[in-house]
């Protein structure tokens, strides 16, 4: 019984350690860059395999430029001198089997201002800080920035930053910023997702595989405990019957005497 349980447990382990999820990572972590700046895009596993550590040779970075042309890199794509025409576009990770990661739009601008905003989607209820960064600060006026959502002014930050507190789905949209005397930045999309259903749980929700695994491990001990309970009950019953018989025999002997 225990051998069978161990075999099933190993099978569940192999199933549970299936293909790992992969995310697209940008270094530095922003989606807008000045012309001639350097950045890198890579594919990174979100979960490490337990039984083997294999390199992400099956994943590659895909880039679709603004003119529609598609290019491929390895799992690490390094851009040392960025140009708007060749390095702006949509980036994602992809395998030969058609598996893909989330897509991130990167903008390389020849302008003088960029907006620093979250690259990956944020969760509802999170605080989000937007930063407006000029290429060159020429005066104290450069510290004051206006922020726009879908082309409409939503606020001004005296330090070049603005924080959106407790964002919701309605905060999704195209954001840009403007520094006085330096011009307007390109637009970047801010994506807001609903939190997981189990976010309020104090602990993580176990997966189906984990539940079955624990049941398989506990089954032999549970069955053994039940069998021991039956054996103990039968022995106790036999002892009570035997004691009753001895008592009856003693009574008969006394009556016969």
The CATH T-level fold of domain 20-110 is Immunoglobulin-like (2.60.40)
Rounded to whole angstroms, the Cα distance separating 178 from 160 reads 9
Which pTM was predicted?
Answer: 0.64
Residue 232 has pLDDT above 80, yes or no: no
Give span(s): CATH 2.60.40.10, the chain. 20-110, 111-195
pLDDT in tens, 119-145: 989 999 999 999 999 988 766 566 789
pLDDT in tens, 175-210: 999 988 788 999 999 999 988 776 554 444 454 445
| Rounded alpha-carbon distances, angstroms, from residue 243 to 115, 234, 247 | 90, 14, 6
Q: For domain 111-195, which architecture applies?
A: Sandwich (2.60)
Residue with tokens 């807008």: 32
Instruction: Report how far apart the first and last C-alpha atoms of the chain are (Å, whole number).
Output: 57
Rounded to whole angstroms, the Cα distance separating 222 from 189 reads 54
> In b/e form, how buried is each residue of 100-121, taking b as 16+ CB within 10 angstroms?
ebeebbbbbbebbbbbbbbbee
Residue 165 has pLDDT above 80, yes or no: yes
Q: What is the pLDDT of residue 102?
A: 87
Rounded to whole angstroms, the maximal C-alpha distance in the chain is 125
Q: What is the pLDDT of residue 105?
A: 94
For residues 165 and 122, the answer to whether their CB atoms sit within 8 Å is no
Rounded to whole angstroms, the Cα distance separating 58 from 119 reads 24
Q: What is the pLDDT of residue 139?
A: 63
Mean pLDDT in the chain?
Answer: 78
């Amino acid at each position: 019984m225990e051998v069978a349980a161990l075999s099933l447990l190993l099978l569940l382990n192999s199933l549970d350690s299936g293909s790992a999820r992969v995310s697209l990572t940008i270094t530095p972590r922003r989606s807008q860059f000045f012309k001639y700046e350097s950045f890198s895009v890579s594919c990174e596993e979100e979960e490490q395999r337990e039984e083997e550590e294999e390199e992400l040779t099956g994943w590659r970075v895909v880039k679709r430029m603004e003119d529609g042309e598609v290019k491929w890199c390895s799992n690490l794509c390094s851009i040392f001198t960025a140009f708007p025409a060749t390095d702006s576009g949509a980036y994602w990770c992809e395998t030969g089997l058609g598996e893909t990661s989330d897509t991130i739009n990167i903008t390389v601008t020849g302008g003088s201002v960029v907006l620093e905003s979250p690259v990956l989607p944020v969760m509802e209820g999170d605080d989000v800080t937007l930063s407006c960064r000029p290429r060159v600060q020429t005066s104290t006026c450069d510290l004051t920035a206006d922020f726009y959502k879908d082309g409409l002014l939503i606020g001004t930050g005296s330090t070049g930053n603005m924080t959106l507190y407790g964002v919701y789905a309605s905060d999704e949209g195209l954001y840009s910023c403007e520094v006085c005397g330096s011009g307007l930045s390109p637009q970047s999309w801010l994506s807001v997702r609903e939190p997981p259903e189990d976010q309020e749980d104090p602990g993580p929700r176990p997966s189906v595989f984990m539940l079955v695994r624990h049941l398989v491990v506990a089954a032999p001990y549970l069955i053994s405990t039940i069998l021991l309970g039956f054996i103990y009950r039968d022995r106790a019953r036999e002892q009570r019957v035997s004691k009753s018989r001895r008592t009856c025999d003693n009574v008969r002997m006394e009556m016969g005497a």
